């Protein structure tokens, strides 16, 4: 059977056999969280802005036309409601597992840290760090976002975001840290960047490893050197990696630890997004027993994940619980809550998924 994303199984192998992985990413990682590239110019751009974005986001423009800089900055570069996507979360997970050494990012949105990554080299700074140019006092991004006109410190000084503007140099300590990590990387994964911004893109030259992975929807200058090239959106790649790995782990655990009588006994069938999924009792038990916050729905490679709130599991699954409850389980899939409820003793229950509500039937042993 062909892979849904060509090259995914090889990527999984490389991650599995590698240590000190470094990820080098750019704007494409953030666009999948709904953050557009500030350099993009649609048909309406010229109706509102008299200068190209690269000129507006320059040191000269900041000093000479400060108020216009902040009008652009707030509208085009501050996306405070954006949330980490599967790529951010997958990289944070690899770091927790001891596989990922660091993330080197050209983005300034802080989404890697929001997802849980700790070692992040922010080549171009961060919107979350802002400082008064006169006294050095620090301010939150909310202060800059909500200020009228030019944000000012109580001392009267201008509050400037610690992002690297055109005509400004990159932080030498950040550059050195990123270069050292890339030089000692066992695997370098480049994702969501066309590698067209220098000096950041030049850091790739420090890599000395044998395997180079490029994940990008459009061509990059490093494609010819890549030992693995994936042209799918990077969020989809990491989502597929995570789901496939979890599904394999669940199957392996069940085969080794549970009697055969459990494997053909689905607790209930439910329908999400017009696709039939089966949730087996033993999968829920497995996920709860090992302390995981996740449950797996489906069979074989056709699995999806939901985040469990593990206290909500009915005695139909854990038959030695002292008292029955109407709430079978509660979990999250993507950003929506899933609730499965039924009256005790009834064969029918209800599934609530976001705003959708449907009837589900239960099959007991």
Q: What is the pLDDT of residues 98-147, one digit of tens each?
A: 999 999 999 999 999 999 999 999 999 999 999 999 999 999 999 999 99
- The per-residue pLDDT for 337 is 62
- Residue 278 banded pLDDT, cuts 50, 70, 90: very low
pLDDT category of residue 314 using cuts at 50, 70 and 90: very low
- The active-site residue out of 88, 112, 124, 128 is 124
More confident residue, 146 or 300: 146
Greatest Cα-to-Cα distance within the chain, rounded to the nearest angstrom = 75
pLDDT of the residue at 4: 72
pLDDT top residue among 244 and 2: 244
Q: What is the pLDDT of residue 318?
A: 32
> Is there a catalytic annotation at residue 124?
yes
Tell me the whole-structure pTM to 2 decimals: 0.69
Most confident of 76-90, 286-300, 339-353: 76-90
343 pLDDT above the threshold of 50: yes
- Per-residue pLDDT, 285: 40
What does the pLDDT look like over 149-187, one tens digit per residue?
999 999 999 999 999 999 999 999 999 999 999 999 999
> Who's near 294: CB < 8 A, 6+ residues apart?
246, 287, 305, 306, 307, 308
Query: Integer distance in angstroms from the first to the last C-alpha of the chain?
Result: 34
Section 239-246 average pLDDT: 70
Q: Which one has a higher pLDDT value, 286 or 5?
A: 5
Work out the pLDDT band at 243, boundaries 50, 70, 90: low
pLDDT number for residue 282: 39
Please, what is the average pLDDT of the chain?
A: 77
User: What is the structure's pLDDT at 274?
Assistant: 37
pLDDT of residue 164: 96
pLDDT digits (tens, 9 = 90+) for 196-240: 888 899 999 999 999 999 999 999 999 999 999 999 999 989 988
What pLDDT was estimated at residue 134?
Answer: 97
């Amino acid at each position: 059977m062909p892979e849904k994303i060509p090259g995914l199984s090889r990527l999984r192998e490389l991650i599995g056999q590698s240590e000190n992985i470094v990820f080098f990413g750019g704007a494409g990682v953030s666009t999948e969280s709904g953050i557009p590239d500030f350099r993009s110019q649609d048909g309406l751009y010229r109706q509102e802005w008299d200068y190209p974005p690269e000129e507006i986001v320059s040191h000269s423009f900041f000093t000479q036309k400060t108020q216009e800089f902040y009008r652009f900055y707030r509208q085009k570069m501050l996306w405070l409601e954006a949330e980490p996507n599967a790529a951010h979360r997958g990289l944070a997970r690899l770091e927790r597992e001891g596989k990922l050494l660091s993330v080197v990012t050209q983005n300034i949105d802080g989404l890697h840290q929001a997802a849980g990554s700790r070692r992040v080299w922010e080549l171009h700074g961060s919107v979350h760090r802002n400082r008064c140019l006169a006294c050095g006092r620090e301010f939150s991004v909310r202060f800059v976002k909500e200020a009228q006109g030019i944000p000012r410190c109580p001392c009267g000084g201008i509050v400037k975001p610690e992002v690297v503007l055109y005509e400004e140099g990159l932080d030498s300590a950040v550059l050195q840290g990123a270069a050292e990590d890339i030089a000692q990387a066992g695997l370098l994964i480049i994702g969501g960047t066309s590698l067209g911004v220098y000096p950041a893109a030049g850091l790739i030259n420090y890599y000395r490893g044998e395997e180079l992975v490029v994940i990008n929807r459009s061509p990059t200058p490093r494609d010819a050197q890549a030992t693995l090239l994936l042209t799918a959106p990077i969020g989809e790649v990491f989502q597929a990696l995570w789901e496939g790995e979890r599904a394999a782990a669940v199957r392996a655990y069940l085969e080794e630890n549970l009697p055969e009588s459990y494997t053909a006994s689905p607790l209930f069938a439910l329908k999400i997004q017009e696709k039939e999924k089966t949730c087996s009792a033993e999968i829920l038990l497995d996920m709860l027993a090992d302390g995981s916050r996740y449950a797996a729905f489906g069979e074989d490679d056709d699995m999806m994940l939901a985040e469990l709130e593990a206290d909500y599991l009915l005695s139909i699954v854990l038959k030695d619980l002292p008292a029955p409850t109407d709430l079978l389980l509660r979990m999250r899939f993507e950003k929506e809550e899933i609730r499965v409820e039924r009256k005790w003793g009834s064969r029918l229950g209800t599934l609530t998924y976001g705003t959708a509500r449907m009837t589900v039937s239960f099959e007991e042993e």
